[in-house]
Amino acid sequence: MAVLNKIRQRSLILILVIALALFSFVIGDLFKNSDALTGVSQDTIATVNGEDIKRDEFMFKVENYQRRVGPNSTSVQSMNAIYNQELRKIILETEYDELGLSVEKDKMRDLLKNTFQSYPEFQNQDSVYDVNRLNAFIANLKEIAPQAAPLGNVQVNYQSWTDNEQAIASGALQQQYYNLIKAGVGASLVEAKDEHVAGARSVDVKYVQIPYTSIADSLVKVTKSEIKAYMEKHKEQYQVDATREIVYVEFREDASIGDEDEIKNNLIALKQDRVEFSDVTKTTDTIVGFDNTTNVEAFVNSNSDIKYNDAYLRVNQLPVAERDSLLAANVGDYYGPYKDAGYYKLSKVLAKETRPDSVKVRHILIPYVGANRVDPSITYTKEKAEAKADSILNVVKGNRSKFLEVLDLSSDKVSNENEGIIEFTYNQAFAPEFKAFSFDNQKGDVDVVETSFGYHIIEILDQSAFNPTIKLATVAREIEPSEETIDAVFNAVSKFEIAAENGDFTELAKERELAVKPATFKELDENIPGLGSQRQVVRWAFNDDTEVGEYKRFSIAGVGFIVAQLVDINKEGLMSVDNATTPVLIEVRKEKKAEMIRAKITATTVDEIASNQGQSPRTASGLTLKNTTLTGAGVEPKVVGTALGLAQGATSKPIDGEKGVFVVEVTAVKEAQELDNFSAIQSRLTNARRNTVQTKVYAALEKKAEIEDNRAKTVY
């Protein structure tokens, strides 16, 4: 009871304590979740001109894109592709809205007709486009949604159809928009005349060059304030994105010498029969070895990391380093173990033959619905196509002259133009089954062969370029580290991390003979040189909580582990003076040297200046605005431009060029020949400018757009 009374007496204090605890909890959560403070929503990928790109819709499009392109695109590459697509769409739609551009109903009908009029599904019995069939198809898609219906070789549903319609409309609007801009782009006759003069008016000069290298770098002092001032004066050249710099060391999970020896010994042991006790049968069984097996294919497939290949191999299909040894081996001989492409291999020679490297065949192709590149008009099922091919084979086998009579049944229109004949070499890309029949059988053989394109009736007409081939039974074992090696690598990483707590990262690496590798990347980068796609490292380095000097271990596929340390944070904006010192120092030094050289020039003629400065006068001819190369000095646009502005006999003042200070004297001027008509040049300039409209206009619109890019905080 006394305790309760004390609590009541101190109720105000208790309330304050609870309030402070709740406040600290909320504030702590805010700092953990920076989105709450920055206003960045996890649901918004980006905001472009006030319009949000929402996460759910964005990721849906990314998934569709990845399904289309397959494994050729990483997830980050797919997201970048969709982001750029959405960015372009919003930026251009902003322009369309401001101009009042739209695709009306009649225009949309025309666009759909132009796009789909060749589809048999939308044609009447006279093969003429029928809009009613198109409307019926769309209505059916809407009725069965979300189910799909076939269109040509693909399946489409109502959503994909409407997306396609929007893409068609968007393409038409884009074309209309750019055409409007192109209509206002051109070149005047004055510009055409200037273009003509730029290439036709030329000057010959005598000049002297006092190179910057004539003054030693040690005589020119450059301060950090001068470097900073130069950068401020040339801001656009030295603007940089935010970057992070790391160093890292690798702990590779590579097979040790002992691991490799064990793999080789295990391969050698496969040759002989071995006796094993079976826990299941409680008896001792004899396992037949490579020497005595009667089923080579089964033996290889049971003991190898690479499946058995029953083909005869040409010379260029054998490992380069082992080629001569394999070809010299006799049938029944073993070769190996030898290392090849990340495997140790033991090969047994099964057979050797002389086989052709070039063939001439003729064929008839009978495809079926679902086959590769099948024409939309094909209606055969696989079973019907096979039966059709078999019936044609029977006709051809009975009388080879009938081959040409039934050639019209073939869907290969290209080879049909040459009586169905195809000539190719073994190295050319052909369907594997087609190639195997053509090279592994004899001249005159004919049969039905199935490939991904359908059923082929193939007759071998000729074979040539016979060369040695070899059939091998190869047992391969991937070279990979043992459990002991993996454990040793893990222990080494752990010890390095512990030591790095209080030690110098670089010194620790040096002690362990580990190479310290640098890497610099931007926030949206995916790849790290030498490591490939490593978004996990990029995210860690750009995390607001990661400070310079911190390190972290990462598991890297194909490597093992790395330990990375953040060594520098470079913010967006003007490059830091320290990072800019090397490139800017050269430019500032050139400016100061130019000033020093100009101060030493007291003479007024090229010959006198050359004599006073210990240089030789040179000549250059045919200089134009389009040819700014000075013979003996290289490309010097400022010097050539100055010379073209002088009259014959005139001498320039000192000119600060790319590789030195120049003084030029114009010795001859060749004026451009007057043309009666400049319309051809005007037309060429106009076309050239219009061809760049699309790229330049969009680049300008993107630069002008208000873009808040949250990809790094939302999906990357």
Q: Give me the residue spans of the domains in the chain.
A: 2-32, 105-183, 202-217+577-670, 243-254+481-571, 296-478
Provide mean pLDDT across the span 269-296: 87
Q: Is the pLDDT of residue 1 over 60?
A: no
Q: How many CB atoms are located within 10 Å of the residue 443 CB?
A: 14
Whole-angstrom distance, CA of residue 483 vs CA of residue 465: 50
Q: Indicate the pLDDT class of residue 153, thresholds 50, 70 and 90.
A: confident
Q: In this predicted structure, what is the pLDDT of residue 20?
A: 54
Question: pLDDT by residue (tens digit) across 30-62?
Answer: 444 444 444 556 799 999 999 999 999 999 889
Question: Strand 44-48 relative to strand 707-709: parallel, antiparallel, unpaired?
Answer: antiparallel
Query: In this predicted structure, what is the pLDDT of residue 15?
Result: 52
| Nearest in space to 300 (alpha carbons), one of 469, 468, 471 | 471
Whole-angstrom distance, CA of residue 267 vs CA of residue 262:
9
In this predicted structure, what is the pLDDT of residue 374?
Answer: 83
Of the chain, the percentage scoring pLDDT greater than 90 comes to: 75
Statement: residue 22 has pLDDT above 90: no
User: Secondary structure of the chain: what % helix, strand, coil (to 5)?
Assistant: 45, 25, 30
Residue 344 and residue 336 in contact, taking contact as beta carbons nearer than 8 Å: yes
Query: Residue 287, Cβ neighbours under 10 Å: how many?
Result: 12
Note the pLDDT of residue 126.
84
Task: Give 2 or 130, the one with higher predicted confidence.
Answer: 130
Over range 594-610, report the average pLDDT.
Answer: 95
At 100 the pLDDT is: 93
Domain 202-217+577-670 class, CATH top level: alpha beta
Integer Cα distance of 352 and 329 in angstroms: 10
For residue 222, what is the DSSP state?
-
| pLDDT band, residue 16 (cuts 50/70/90) | low
73 pLDDT above the threshold of 70: yes
Entry pTM? 0.69
Q: Where are the beta strands (DSSP E) in 498-654?
A: 517-522, 527-528, 532-533, 551-556, 560-570, 573-574, 618-623, 629-630, 634-635
Grade residue 13 by pLDDT with cuts at 50, 70 and 90. low
| pLDDT at residue 714 in the model | 84
Instruction: Dig out the tokens for 599 from the structure.
Output: 């101060």
**Residue of 346, 448, 366 whose CA lies nearest to 407:** 366
* pLDDT number for residue 6: 45
| Residue of 62, 65, 46 whose CA lies nearest to 54 | 46
**pLDDT digits 0-9 by tens, 161-194:** 998 998 899 999 999 999 999 999 999 999 999 9
Q: Which stretches of 253-333 are assigned E, i.e. beta strand?
A: 274-277, 284-287
Q: What is the mean pLDDT of residues 479-483?
A: 96
Instruction: Taking residues 636-661, report their average pLDDT.
Output: 97
Query: In residues, how long is the chain?
Result: 716
Q: What is the mean pLDDT of the chain?
A: 90
Q: Is the pLDDT of residue 8 over 80?
A: no
Q: To the nearest whole percent, how much of the chain has pLDDT over 70?
A: 94
Reported as a single tens digit per residue, the pLDDT across 459-480 is: 999 999 999 999 999 999 999 9
> At residue 266, does pLDDT exceed 60?
yes
CATH class of 243-254+481-571: alpha beta
- State residue 26's pLDDT score: 43
Q: What amino acid occupies position 390?
A: D
Q: pLDDT tens digits, residue range 375-415?
A: 877 888 999 999 999 999 999 998 998 898 899 899 998 88
Structure confidence by residue, pLDDT tens digits, 507-533: 999 999 999 999 999 999 999 988 999
> What digits encode the pLDDT tens for the residues 203-262?
999 999 999 999 999 999 999 999 999 999 999 899 889 999 999 999 999 999 999 999
Q: What is the per-residue DSSP string for 122-156?
A: GB-TTS-B-HHHHHHHHHHHHHHTTS-EEETTEEE
Does 296-478 match 243-254+481-571 at the fold level?
Answer: yes
Report CA dihedral (619, 620, 621, 626) to the nearest 10 degrees.
-160
Q: Which CATH class is domain 296-478?
A: alpha beta
Residue 524 neighbours by CB under 8 Å, 6+ apart: 80, 709, 711, 712, 716
Other residues' Cβ atoms within 10 Å of the Cβ of residue 64: 14
